[in-house]
Amino acid sequence: MADIRIESEIPGKVISIEVAPGDTVEEDDDILILESMKMEIPVASPGSGTIKEILVEVEDTINEGDPVAVMDG
């Protein structure tokens, strides 16, 4: 199976990481939570698979389109 890069759809600050490498996720499961414009915005899994790598840490500031995790799908 091919690796899937999960990207942020908005700029923001990572306030929580909800999964770890090796975790199995389903479509729309929260991968992490961003704070953007004083709102908490989840970054969700685009499909079912296993998380291979988390590319960000809590407190990181990321931009729209930045990769945040890698999963197999």
Residue-level pLDDT at 2 = 86
Tokens read off for 29: 């499961």
Give the list of residues 6+ apart from residue 71 with CB closer than 8 angstroms, or none.
3, 4, 6, 25, 45, 49, 50, 51, 52
Q: What strands, in cross-sheet order, belong to the sheet with 30-36?
A: 39-44, 30-36, 12-17, 61-62
**pLDDT-based confidence at 1, cuts 50/70/90?**
low
Please tell me the pTM assigned to this model.
Answer: 0.91
Domains of the chain, with CATH numbers?
A: 3-72 (2.40.50.100)
pLDDT in tens, 21-59: 999 999 999 999 999 999 999 999 999 999 999 999 999
Distance (Å, whole) CA 37 – CA 47: 27
